[in-house]
A and B are shown apart, each in its own frame.
Chain A
Amino acid sequence: MKNPKDFWAGVIYLGMGVATVAIAREYPMGTAVKMGPAYFPTVLGGLLCLIGLVSLIRSFFTSGEAIGAFALKGVSLIAASVVLFGLLARGAGLVPALGVLVVCSAYASIQFRWKSAMLLAAGLIVFCALVFIKLLGVPLPLLGPWLGV
């Protein structure tokens, strides 16, 4: 393999293409005149498999740059902070959910400082409570039932 980017993109295409076609087999195919729910996805999935194969084959003949290091810290912290927000929002309320989201995501930066992150969280909580909860009426409690409120 001389072109890792093409190779892994090909793997993703092929994987998704095969999965698309495989899942579509559970749906009725229909005919060309009266297409069933499986028809179009099967065609698309087939095409995606084709693209994936071409990309895989190409990766052995053309050379390309290596894939840069995966920013695992950034990816996991950003994704985790957003997921935590979703988990906490209803139960614990907007205030703790936003606090966790801001501090956890800010931690991904090399310039992270506890003080500035806390201040930022406080400012954003006040702003969001006013704009989203009071003004736009997003149905989230400020402090949720988990906190005994």
Chain B
Amino acid sequence: MELLANLGLGLETAFTLTNLLYCLVGVFLGTAIGVLPGLGPVATIAMLLPVTFGLPPVSSLIMLAGIYYGAQYGGSTTAILVNLPGESSSVVTALDGYQMARQGHAGKALATAAIGSFFAGTVATFLLALFAPPLAELALKFGPAEYFSLMVLGLVASVVLAHGSLLHALGMILIGLILGLVGTDVNSGMERYTFEMPQLADGIGFVVVAMGMFGLGEIIRNLEHEATRSVTIKAVSGLLPTKEDLKRIAAPILRGTGLGSLLGILPGGGAMLASFAAYSFEKKVSKNSAQFGKGAIEGVAAPEAANNAGAQTSFIPMLTLGIPSNPVMALMIGAMIIQGIQPGPSVMTEQPALFWGVIVSMWIGNVFLIVLNLPMIGLWVRMITVPYHLLYPAILVFCAIGVFSLNNSEFDVYLMALFGVLGYVFAKLDCEPAPMLLGFILGPMMEEYLRRAMLLSRGDPTVFVTRPISAVMLAMAVAALFVVLSPAIQKKREEAFQEEE
């Protein structure tokens, strides 16, 4: 069995003392920062990225993955305990989780979330191990035309599945693509859009953009709606679910895992869509649907399983194709590039230890998550109660020093401030920053593949539609756009996203 041999290699890589340690540190830091209200996984990862740059590639990716699901789980804890979801994927967890907490079942809700996440994480890890190799093999047959079309499809899908206006999502993607081109053109060596500033010759750092748009922009937005309420949480007790609870959550966890795994693979999918879809699905099929919104344990189990499954399977397109399906994966790709790894199908064949090590470490990370979270809940509760007016200056401090230390350059700090203001302005205009970040990462790659494809076809643009795989992907992109533009679906989509708010 090749799969077993591969997993064996992964175990060997992940089970070294250093990598276990980095995984643990990643999960711990991710959870610690993820529980802070108002900080989602993107901001958390962007903030902690500089810490990982000094590590060897395998350790840094293992740690980043740990930070990611740590942050994801931390967000759920906050959603359940204080009804302040730090990220969109735990919005639905807050619906029933917070009600459970108010009725004195906070411990049970947290345990349900942990069990659901753990089960989903285990299944999704195996799916990743099963499906990544054949997909990577298929991707090895891709030429530049296929890659270009795949990126178009990925960007279009992220627009379709994102909330908010379609037009603005397209606009933001284009802005991101253009910003991604700033710097030295690899083909001609010419500096573009640098305004003769030497600091821009290597392009704009994606950490700068991410921290500015998601970190600073978010802070300014939160300050706008600053409430004077202080968060108080009752002591959490009764962590262990009863046998009856376990019976009630088994089926929702299974369904959530299935749905989440599927939606995580889709470009533009990932945790947010998965948890939302799982919640509405569970509400429809559950026997206790009347209880949903009033503290139904199923309403916590399903979306929590789904968002963890989705978070994990969204690594599949990232690791095999080098295509980010959501902003978090865009950050991961950025981190890989900084580590000198070109993301894509060749990662699996050229760096098998890295590839399988990261996959196995995800499962280990899920074990840490459950071991770490339930006993340490007291610590997380104390972190949540830190008032926001003390929290955000600290976030700014870490962003500022973090961005400075990337290149030891003040310029990046100023640029981050600029992107913070820009992020706030765009938020005011209902333009979402997530598609921009995707475009920003994909911009240089898209240009490169477009150039190569056109060079190979001797300038014949029909190459994108005459090569079958490329044509199928473009057709899917066009179809997706038409589907969203059709008035009937548009209305449904608005309803769907409204329900989520």
Inter-chain contacts of A41 with B (CB < 8 A): 178, 181, 192-193
Distance from B199 Cβ to chain A, minimum over Cβ atoms (Å): 12
Contact between A101 and B228, CB atoms less than 8 A apart: no
Interface size for B (C-beta < 8 A) is 64
Inter-chain contacts of B414 with A (CB < 8 A): 82-83, 86
Closest B residue to A91 using CB positions: B410
Contact between B192 and A74, CB atoms less than 8 A apart: no
Contact between B396 and A81, CB atoms less than 8 A apart: yes
A-B contact count (CB 8 A): 182
Closest A residue to B415 using CB positions: A86
Query: Interface SS of chain A: helix, strand, loop or mixed?
Result: helix
Which one of A5, A82, A90 lies within 8 Å of B417 (CB-CB)?
A: A82
- How far is A136 from B405 in the complex, measured between Cα atoms in Å? 10
- How far is A41 from B228 in the complex, measured between Cα atoms in Å? 47
Q: Is B404 an interface residue (CB 8 A)?
A: yes
Which one of A44, A85, A98 lies within 8 Å of B177 (CB-CB)?
A: A44
Contact between A33 and B454, CB atoms less than 8 A apart: yes
Q: Is B424 an interface residue (CB 8 A)?
A: yes
Which one of A24, A37, A51, A101 lies within 8 Å of B188 (CB-CB)?
A: A37
Contact between B178 and A48, CB atoms less than 8 A apart: yes
Q: Footprint of B on A, CB under 8 Å? A: 5-6, 8-9, 12-13, 16-17, 20, 23-24, 27-28, 31-37, 40-41, 44-45, 47-48, 51-52, 54-55, 58, 67-68, 70-71, 74-75, 78-79, 81-83, 85-87, 89-90, 98, 101-102, 105-106, 108-112, 116-117, 120-121, 124, 128, 132, 136, 138-140
**Residue contacts A-B, CB under 8 angstroms, 17 given:** A9-B171, A35-B450, A36-B188, A41-B193, A44-B174, A44-B178, A58-B167, A78-B420, A79-B417, A86-B410, A90-B410, A102-B393, A110-B226, A110-B228, A110-B389, A120-B390, A128-B397
Q: Footprint of A on B, CB under 8 Å? A: 51, 54, 167-168, 170-171, 174-175, 177-178, 181, 185, 187-188, 190, 192-193, 216, 219-220, 223-224, 226, 228, 387-390, 392-394, 396-397, 399-401, 404-405, 408, 410-411, 413-414, 416-418, 420-421, 424-426, 428-431, 446-447, 450-451, 454-455, 458-459, 461
